[in-house]
Amino acid sequence: MGIGNQVKTVLLLGSLAGLMLVIGFLVGGRQGLFIALTISILINFITYWFSDKIVLFMYKAKEADKKHHAQLHSIVESVAKKANIPKPKVYIIENETPNAFATGRGPSNAAVACTTGIMKLLNKEELEGVIAHEMAHVKNRDILVATIAATIASIISYVASMARWGAYFGNDDDGANFLAVIILSILAPIIAIIIQLAISRSREYLADETGAKIVKNPKGLASALSKLSNGCAAKPMKSANQATASLFIVNPFSAKAVFSLFSTHPPIDERIRRLNQMKV
C-alpha cells in the first residue's frame, strides 16, 4: 500500500507540473513557459525555507515546557528513536480543538505541534499513534511535497486568471480561440485544486501506514482518529486557516467527510478501516 501511495503522489505531482507548463506555454509561448517555471522555483524556495516558522506563528504555538509536558516530550523522543530520526521540537497550541500537525523541511529541523485539546482527549497509546503519524510526515518529507503541490496549484490559478483577463481585453478576433482560453482558464484552477487535494489525501494514508509501523500499533492511531473525528465535529477550530488545513491530522474545521474530490483529508472511516486491517 505504501509504494502505491508513493507512485500515486509522483503521478499527481507530475500532472500538476504538466498542467502548469501547458498553461504557461498556451498563454505566452516559450516566454510564458519560462516565466511559469521561474515563478515556481522562486516561490518554492521561499516556502521551503520559511513555511514552518510561518505556520507556527499563525497558530501562536509555543515550545512545550519539558516539565509541564513531560509525557508529551517522552512520547516524541521515544517515537523519534523508533523512526530513526532526530527528535523534533515540540510545540503546544492553546486551543480546545483536539488536533496536531508536523512542519519543517525535513527530519533535521522538524517540529510537532499539539493542541491543548488533544492532550486532554487522548490517552497515552492514542497520543503515541498521533505523534507517530506526524513523525511519518516528517520521515516521508510530506511537508516538502505539500509545499510543492500548493505552490504549483497557486501558480496555475494565477496564470489562468491572467489568461482570462488577457482574452477579455485582447485583440484576438478568433472566437474559437477566445472561447478555448476562457474555458481553460476556468477549468485549470479547479483541476489543479483537485489534484493538490488528492496528493494531500494520498500522503495522509501513507502517514497512517508509516506511523502505525513505526510504533507497531495501528489500533492506537485508529482509536485516536475516532475520538478526533468526534472532537473536531463538536469543537471545530475557529482560528484555522483553510490554506493550512491539510497540515493537521484531521480537518480542523470538521473531521466529517465532505465531497471527496474537494476534501483535504481522506474519510475518517476509511482511514480507521485500513488501520484496523493492518498487520504489523
100: β partners: 114
**For this structure, is 128 an active site residue?**
no
Q: How far apart are CA 160 and CA 176, in angstroms?
A: 17
Torsion of CA 223, 225, 229, 230, to 10 degrees: 20
Q: Which three cell numbers stand for residue 261?
A: 474530490
Q: Residue with C-alpha cell 485500513?
A: 274
Q: Residue with C-alpha cell 510543492?
A: 148
Of the candidates 96, 125, 126, 134, the residue annotated as catalytic is: 134
Q: DSSP code of 96?
A: S
Q: How far apart are CA 211 and CA 226, in angstroms?
A: 16
Q: Which three cell numbers stand for residue 79?
A: 517515537
Q: Provide the annotated active-site residues.
A: 134
